Amino acid sequence: MSIEKRSEIYNRAKSFQYAFEGWWFVLRTQHNAWIHALVTLAVVALGLWLGLPLRDWAVLILTFMAVWMAEFMNTAIEAVVDMTMPDIHPLAKVAKDVAAAAVLLGALGAVLVGLLLLGPPLWVRLFGA
Q: Which residues are catalytic?
A: 71
124 within 8 A of 70, measured Cβ to Cβ: no
Distance CA 117, CA 77 (A): 32
Q: 67-91 burial, b if ≥16 CB within 10 A, otherwise e?
A: bbebbbebbebbeebeeeeeeeeee
Using alpha carbons only, how large is the chain's radius of gyration in Å? 19
Q: DSSP string of 16-54? A: HHHHHHHHHHHHHH-HHHHHHHHHHHHHHHHHHHHT--H
